[in-house]
Each structure stands twice: as C-alpha cells, then as structure tokens.
Amino acid sequence: MKLARFISKGRLLQGRLQDGMLIDPAGEAHHPEEVVWQLPVQPGKVLALALNFAEHAEEFGLRKPTEPALFWKPNTSLLPHKGTVVYPRGARFMHFECELAVIIGRPMRRVKAKEAMDYVGGYTIANDLVVRDYVTNIFRPPIRAKGWDTFGPLGPFYVTADEVQDPHGLAMRAYVNGELRQEASTRGMLFSIPEILEFISRFMTLEAGDVILTGTPKGISQVRPGDLMRMEIEGLGALENPIEWESEEAEPVVSEEGERSLVL
C-alpha cells in the first residue's frame, strides 16, 4: 500500500493512493496536485550511509568502507515532496543523491541479519543533498555538508514492505530539469538492508518510524537555484523538489577547506 500524509482543505490527513487519487480515511478523494504534501512518516532518528555503492566511492577516488559508514541526518533537514530546497549562499558545489530509505516498523535491538527484514515497515525515496565544499577529511562524517535545513527531502509515499518484493533489485533514476543524470539499481549496494540493520542494532535501538538512508550510486552532478530535481525508485513513485536561493540576509558559507578540495 502507498500511504501519504498531506494537508487538504485545512486538514492534516493520511490517505492511500488509489487510481491516481489520495483517499482519506473517510473515503474522500483528493487530487495529488491540489494538496500540500507532508513527510510520509514523522521520523524519530534519521541515519544515513556514506559510500554504500562501490562505483560512487570510485568516482571520487575513495576506498570502499569495510563496514557501514554512518552519519546522522538532522530532522531539521527533512523536507516533503514538492517542498523547496534552499541553496546556501556562497556554496560552490551542491549535488543531489537519490537513495532508497528504509522505514523501521517496530523496535529492534541486537537483531540478526536473517531476521532483520521482519522489522522493516516500508520504504520511501530520499534525496540526500550535499554541499560538496565541506566533504573533506576534517569534516567527516559529513554532517556539515549534508545537514543544512531542507537538505533531506523524503517521500512522497510510505510504501509498505509487503508491496516491495525485492528492495535489492529496484531501478533508481534521478532527473534534473527533465534530464536523466543518474541511473542504477539498489542491487549495487555494498551492504544489504539486513546487514545494515544488524550492524546498527548491535549498539543502538531502532524504533518504529526511524529512517535509514541506504546510500547513492555513481552519477551525482551539480544542481543550482532554479533547478527541479526528480528522484525515482521503481515501485515507490517520484520525489520532486525545486531549488531556490537562500535569502540575501543569510551569511555566506565559504570554506577554506572547500577551496582546497571538493573531492575527499
């Protein structure tokens, strides 16, 4: 089932997608272009993996990690489908990252990989945006690069786990202004979802509503104010977000480290 949270006629609703319409619990239909989309889930923790696709590591000349490389995605970065991403003043290189996001369905702690999928509630699409200027050895993990407000679009749907037969075989595509920029499959992940969940739950309790971003494949490219990004994952829909300039009153974010290296 594809579930969505949205505002329509002044009401916050949760509905299901049926025949191209959003159907609320009372059975009323809402056109997707006439609602204000909300995050598909109210997340607890949001964790993400860096370099979970070998070819993505290779395109930046980096070694593949030997275990899941985790970082936090702050909740203040989250943005729903159709929400506007803000381009920080002074940023030199900002790019998108199309990612499969796993939504935890029930609490899990010290769960083995062979049982981990039983704890998955569903999936959604994530766009893990980055100011590449700050991806340097000094600032690893890349929270400063990826933690800006609006840098975590999620949505549009919470697709329940029973609808996704194999989350490790989903086609992924990213478009900017209608141009295909990134194309791959979740089959390319270095660490599978069960392996990721086993690793995290060894030392941390994952709770219902927590979200795990599973990494991006190769093919990232620069985006700028005025662009429209569209992230697609097979069976999950399409996540769209425009980009606009940060207000002129904001302080520019120029980094000396970013001047020296944009690829580490």
pLDDT tens by residue, 165-182:
999 999 999 999 999 999
In which residue ranges of the chain is pLDDT below 50?
A: 256-264
Instruction: Assess whether 15 and 121 both reside in one domain.
Output: no
- Do 217 and 128 fall into the same domain? yes
pLDDT at 56: 76
Give the whole-angstrom CA distance, residue 264 versus residue 262: 6
Q: Which domain holds residue 17?
A: 1-38
State the pLDDT at residue 262: 38
DSSP H or E run through 3: strand 2-8
For residue range 237-263, what is the model confidence (pLDDT) as tens digits?
999 999 999 876 666 655 544 443 333
Place of tokens 């995050």: 39
Beta bridge partners of 12: 7
- Note the pLDDT of residue 249: 64
Q: Are residues 44 and 64 in the same domain?
A: yes
Q: How many domains does the chain have?
A: 2
Q: What is the pLDDT of residue 95?
A: 96
Q: Kindly state whether residues 114 and 79 are assigned to the same domain.
A: yes
- In this structure, the answer to whether residues 96 and 6 fall within a common structural domain is no
For position 127, which CATH number holds? 3.90.850.10
Q: Are residues 26 and 83 in the same domain?
A: no
Around Cβ 26, how many Cβ atoms within 10 Å?
A: 7
Q: How far apart are CA 122 and CA 167, in angstroms?
A: 10
Are 13 and 116 within one domain? no
State how far Cα 107 lies from the chain centre.
Answer: 21
- pLDDT value, residue 184: 96
Q: Residue 254: how many CB atoms within 10 A of its CB?
A: 13
How much is the pTM?
0.92
Examine the domain organization and report whether 239 and 112 are in the same domain: yes
Q: Map tokens 């075989």 to a residue.
A: 169
Position 252 scores a pLDDT of 60
